[in-house]
Copies of this chain bind each other. A is one copy, B any other.
Amino acid sequence: MPELRKDPVIGRWVIIATERAKRPTDFKIKRDPPHGGFCPFCPGNEEKTPPEVLAYRENGTGANGPGWSLRVVPNKFPALMIEGGLQREGEGIYDKMNGVGAHEVIIENPDHAKTLADLTDAQVESVVWAYRDRIVDLRKDARFRYALIFKNHGEAAGASLEHSHSQLIALPIVPRYVSEEIFGAREYFNFKERCIFCDIVRQERGDRRRVVYENDDFITVSPYAPKFPFETWILPKAHQSSFEDGQVREYQNLAKALRITLRKLNAALDRPPYNFIVHTSPLNEKNLPYYHWHVEIMPTLTKVAGFEWGSGFYINPTPPEESADHLHRMEV
């Protein structure tokens, strides 16, 4: 069972993921990972993953066989385990609990060679529907307080398998960064009686210098204070706190915005590795007036080093007005 341990000073929880345990000697070879020809996410290899929890498939095809266009499976090497209770306990001055949670993989399409940016609008739309369907299902489990959806693309961004996929981790606590973001947004709301993200959307739409792309429901911007060069956010224009409570038309336009934004990043930066994260409200906290879900995309272009680890400050050599201008011009 993985263990959650709490740093006794700053209170950050860490997952000691024993199911993925690495012996010290594993790190010596880690720097040049092997790439075999076998892919557990390709059609025909369905038995190499745990049984699917969701699939979009052709009529008449059976679970855990070919015929799917999208497939969601539990992670074979999960950071957290789905069974058990939290069992909080102390260890002298330290605190720990069981690593309970869900860790799922969204295999975005059957074609090994296609990245998310290479898919059609309709295919990207089915990916965002899968995110929604899984959240709607997982929020029925009362142990879970947050569902984090993210994607690591490319080895430098932490992807260990090449076949395009996203991940979902459902957690028994609201993670630190999410709490901080919600806390900040609530403080602003208490002071102004307005959603800060709505204010950001309004100011960016007026200013235009940091706008990358816009459609009826979504706007893509370079944020005012980006941690990294070419960090890019996609925000719904209308106020909405939960990703999973959108309208059909909104998921269509989100898919369009996501696909175009990724293609612009590909064109500007020669298909960079990247991470993206869906920032949304905690499970079962509905219709918050002060929070506004959105997607943050971070290409992996610079290295996080001692200064950032020591300070929580980020040094970004590229002003967002420059990256937005560059991305805006890219024809995709």
A residues with a Cβ closer than 8 A to B are: 3, 5-18, 20-24, 27-28, 30-31, 79, 91-94, 148, 150-152, 156-159, 167, 169, 171, 175-178, 180-181, 184-185, 188, 196-197, 199-200, 203, 207, 223-227, 229-230, 268-270, 272, 275-279, 298-299, 301-307, 309-320, 322-323, 326
Are the C-beta atoms of A275 and B306 separated by less than 8 Å?
Answer: yes
Q: Which residues of B contact A151 (CB under 8 A)?
A: 306
Q: Are B230 and A199 in contact (CB under 8 A)?
A: no
- Contact residue among B17, B157, B181, B277 (Cβ-Cβ distance under 8 Å from A316): B17
Contact A8 B158 (CB under 8 A): no
Most buried by B among A184, A298, A312: A312
Cβ contacts under 8 Å, A277 to chain B: 306, 309-310
**Extra 6 A-B pairs, beta carbons < 8 Å, given A16-B317, A24-B326:** A7-B225, A9-B181, A14-B314, A15-B315, A30-B302, A151-B306
Contact of A8 among B178, B188, B298 (CB under 8 A): B188
> How many monomers of this protein are in the complex?
2
Cβ contacts A to B, 21 pairs, < 8 Å: A7-B225, A8-B196, A9-B184, A12-B312, A12-B314, A16-B320, A27-B301, A30-B302, A79-B307, A91-B224, A92-B207, A93-B199, A148-B307, A150-B306, A159-B305, A177-B309, A177-B312, A178-B310, A178-B311, A275-B309, A279-B310
Residue of chain B at shortest CB distance from A272: B27
A12-B312, A14-B314, A315-B79 given; A225·B158 CB < 8 A: no
Contact between A11 and B184 (Cβ–Cβ < 8 Å)?
yes
Taking CB atoms, residues of chain B closer than 8 Å to A301 are 27, 30
Contact between A21 and B94 (Cβ–Cβ < 8 Å)? no
CA distance A148 to B313 in the complex (A): 11
> Which of B28, B158, B316 contacts A305, CB < 8 Å?
B158
Report the nearest B residue to A151, measured CB to CB: B306
List residues of chain B with CB within 8 A of the CB of A157.
303, 305-306
Task: Kindly list the 6 A-B residue pairs having the minimum CB-CB distance in the complex, ordered from nearest.
Answer: A158-B305, A150-B306, A175-B311, A176-B312, A277-B310, A177-B312
Closest-CB distance, A46 to chain B (whole angstroms): 25
Set of chain B residues within 8 Å of A306, measured between Cβ atoms: 150-152, 157-158, 167, 275-277
The answer to whether B177 and A8 touch across the interface, beta carbons within 8 angstroms, is: no
Report whether A303 and B156 are in contact in the complex, using a CB–CB cutoff of 8 Å: yes
- Please state if B309 and A16 are interface contacts (CB–CB under 8 Å): no
**Contact indicator B272/A16 (Cβ below 8 Å):** no
A51 to chain B, nearest CB (A): 23
Q: Residue among A17, A167, A276 with the most chain B CB within 10 A?
A: A17
Max chain B C-beta neighbours (<10 A), residue from A20, A21, A318? A318
Residues of B contacting A21 in the complex (Cβ-Cβ under 8 angstroms)? 317-319
Residues A93 and B196 in contact, CB atoms below 8 Å apart: yes
Instruction: Please give me the residue from chain B that is nearest to A321 by CB atom.
Output: B16
